[in-house]
Amino acid sequence: MGNKIKVKLIVICVVFLVTCIFVYRNTESVSITKKTPLKPYFANIEGYKLLRYIDLANDAIKMLDLDDYVYADYEGKNGKVSLYIGYYYTANKVYASHSPTICYPSQGWKIDKQPTNHSISLGPHRIHYNEIITSYIEEQELVLYWYQSRFHTNTKNYMNKIDMGYNKLKNNDEKHAFVRVSVPLGNSTYKEANKVATGFIQAFYPQFIDFITEAGH
């Protein structure tokens, strides 16, 4: 019985490896058609006022190997919130995005609360995300983040690679993204900040799905 299980696992691993080789071997030849830039697409989010766009330094754009991005501050009735989307058009950039657990400490921030996994349902879509609390001197932020390949979300980069491989085979689409929503805690409680963050996700995510659908054509 044990040998049969081992054989099945080996077969599964071989099939997975062959699939990965097939999916990723020709990523350099993909033709990138960029229909709609991210920034103007998210200039208007219902219930929120755009306060400012934040421009990343050229070395940061180069390090993250970005094809497109939006980094902006918004304000809603319950407070301020920041949105960052790093967008990639080819499968060979699957490991280009960096987890906040790496990026924040490299910029001097501390991780006060280690990642915890959560999910939220929006219509037919379910967002799986990680949540951390970070601090720098007297500042503190609640940060929610996830990886996205088409309509699939997850909290692990390697799972994003699997999702993207599936998406490429099924939809001939390699586009993927890293999404981060952050809220300053300030004098707010965790519960209040979480309400701001999840409320913003509920407002912007359908618009993000529209963008993904349009960019995939």
**Predicted pLDDT at 19:** 44
Domain contains 11:
no
Domain contains 43:
yes
Domain hosting 194: range is 31-215
Domain contains 25:
no
Q: Which two tokens stand for residue 2?
A: 């044990």
Tally of domains in the chain: 1
State the CATH number of the domain containing residue 74: 3.40.1000
**DSSP string covering the chain, please?**
-HHHHHHHHHHHHHHHHHHHHHHHTTGGGPPP---S-HHHHTS-BTTBEEEEE-PPPHHHHHHHT-SEEEEEEEEETTEEEEEEEEEE-SGGGTT-S--HHHHHHHTT-EEEEEEEEEEEEETTEEEEEEEEEEEETTEEEEEEEEEEETTEEES-HHHHHHHHHHHHHHHS---EEEEEEEEE-TT--HHHHHHHHHHHHHHHHHHHHHHHHHHT-
**Predicted pLDDT at 182:** 97
Domain contains 24:
no
- Ordered per-residue pLDDT tens for the chain, 217 residues: 555 555 444 433 433 443 444 444 544 444 555 567 899 999 999 999 999 999 999 999 999 999 999 999 999 999 999 999 999 998 888 788 888 898 899 889 999 999 999 999 999 999 999 999 999 998 999 999 999 988 889 988 777 778 777 666 766 668 889 999 999 998 899 999 999 999 999 999 999 999 988 765 4
**Predicted pLDDT at 81:** 98
**Predicted pLDDT at 16:** 43
**Predicted pLDDT at 174:** 80
**Predicted pLDDT at 38:** 92
Domain contains 90:
yes
**Predicted pLDDT at 167:** 67
Domain contains 180:
yes
Q: Judging by DSSP bridges, how do beta strands 79-88 and 176-184 pair with one another?
A: antiparallel
Domain contains 2:
no
**Predicted pLDDT at 2:** 54
Task: Give the chain's length.
Answer: 217
**Predicted pLDDT at 80:** 96
